[in-house]
Chain A
């Protein structure tokens, strides 16, 4: 084959044109007609402004918005559909998951959690690698939060409504004083859980494990001495629970377990059922009970059949 300049240039451009037709134009014919999915809604102006900030600050390099069929983490309740992206201009699928996928982040936490988190991500998530976004200032942080809270569209709205409903209740209980607050918190736990003591004995190893879990997950809000004065506290309302006032208030191991597992919707207390296996929840609950409440029901009756591993 004689490679003339014409052959090289025109030949390669013609090949490119053909391939663009096949891999760009043909799929475009189909994919550009995608209809909105059942969760889709338009974004409000503040949400759109927040999306611009999300782009400007390169959030997309660490947070995907692309839930795959193999995912377990945040947002995995719903696998992404083409119709979720019909207003995304540009689309922000991302290529790295240094932080969690945010496709369904809307309503996962109430706004106050996000305020603390953007002020310094380690205030709410002590192991986070995310930069601080305090430099954005209040109005822009508000826009960014509006965008994050809209991720998931109608599903997010549903979750936000739930956060707002329970936040009203949680604030009312908090403002009525510690007695009412603790009573309200306990009342909202199924009776079966309230009756369960921590089934495992307090051990040095268990407390050490609980200490590590506490430092990796809890310390930002509840603070190093469990008084609810962690660095996130100024942003959070109702404020983080002060464990040191809980003595003689019927806080069973089951109550601690349930709250850690399930979180307290409406407050900044997230659920940890995805992050922590059962043993870790019992251990950190007992750590809080022993060191901060100074009253643990570990190993109390009824405890059922003895655990096989106990010495």
Chain B
């Protein structure tokens, strides 16, 4: 930015604001969908808010509106800092944020109109797919050029994760959305299912996880003022993540007629996920060893560290869910919804919020507008997320076991109704936390210099 920049880190701040804003919208859609599951006549005659359109809107906004921009917001701050330089182009960065928000607005509008490709995580229409790929490539280009002009010769582990996450997601997004077939964005039959779940799982494996790991590797050593525990574990965690995570998508298809050897690969590698997960976690946790007081004292680090604990739970659970005997119970029901919420809200979402709250004060040079609000949000998100996990896991176990024993889907509905009611209540908690969070972020960014309120 040539002419007097209002902010020192305009791109990072733009992505942080993007994340905070879309977290509100995304969680509102989640709350709406949850409410429709307990009161199905709510959508009445409004096609635009029918559950089948609300759910993909919620999922896409959480993934691409809240979590990814939040993690990128932190990355746009720490990547130049780790490289001892400035971001290659703040102008391009801000432009990317604008394009990104345009894609999100278009996503909400098209999904509400029923323009969807009908494939989970790959719903968005072709033109929006193209914009998202361009946005990812612009982010990648900006980061690469920043790397090129770096003063610090050694690339820190966070930088590996950010670079790999952006370029690999560009590739898998193109593949998974079958972008060479604009009309449908799909293959035909069983190959479509295999490709879809390869892509779908890699949204977590090659986007959310690397970007979250990048933030954790930055925040935890900084907040604890400890050196990183092990370079070897960093290497092991990074490379094994890319090798192992990319194999496991077919564990979504264990009961579908796909080649058996592919299922075996998916199950074996799902168990092997213990390697990248524990390499990362041991590294982070040993770095934090003896310094939990520092982590507790910093709200950003507190979010991030909690995220790493949730990563442990969601990963171990995920490995077990890939075992066929376990999956006979957990498949097709709310157990999986609980699992997804531990992963995306508990792990990646918590770390995204932690990244925001850790970096925003450093971007603005002022403390957060309200540490209390951020702490309050922490507890709301934590209670909401753990609550989701409990009630949806119970509902899933009821469904899965009832089906295995011959009850019909219809007969089980009243058995899980009460859990849907509690879930909607917890959804209200999460949505409220997002509103508080956005208020806090906005006031932190635009507050007049001086002491916080």
Contacts and interface: CB of A to CB of B under 8 A. Distances in A.
Contacts of B185: 90
B102 interface: no
A164 interface: no
Given A91-B186, A91-B193, A72 B53 contact: no
A230 to B, nearest CB: 16
Contacts of B447: none
Interface in B391-442: 399, 403-404, 406-411, 413-414
Interface residues of A, number: 76
Contact of B198 (A24, A64, A72): A24
A138 to B, nearest CB: 14
Interface stretch (A128-136, A191-199, A235-243, A255-263): A128-136
Contact of B403 (A3, A73, A89): A73
> Chain A interface mostly helix, strand, loop or mixed?
loop
Contact of A90 (B43, B45, B196, B246): B196
A28 interface: yes
> Chain B interface mostly helix, strand, loop or mixed?
helix
Interface stretch (B92-100, B256-264, B303-311): B256-264
A35 B406 CA distance: 32
Given A57-B52, A90-B192, A125 B246 contact: no
Contact of B242 (A15, A64, A216): A15
B262 A23 contact: yes
Interface stretch (B7-15, B117-125, B344-352, B380-388): B117-125
A59 B54 CA distance: 11
Nearest to B252: A95
B247 interface: yes
Interface stretch (B281-289, B327-335, B361-369): B327-335
Interface residues on B, range: 35 or more
Interface string B183-216: 0111111111111101000000010000000000
A60 interface: yes
B144 A60 contact: no
Contact of A120 (B41, B190, B191, B255): B41
A8 interface: yes
Interface stretch (A77-85, A145-153, A219-227): A77-85
B182 interface: no
Nearest to B161: A8
B163 A88 contact: no
A13 interface: yes
Contact of A91 (B45, B144, B192, B252): B192
Interface of A: 1, 3-5, 8-9, 11-13, 15-16, 19-20, 22-24, 27-28, 30-32, 34, 55-62, 64, 66, 68-74, 80-82, 85-101, 120-122, 125, 127-136, 216, 274-275
List 3 tightest A-B contacts by C-beta distance, closest first. A58-B52, A90-B186, A56-B114
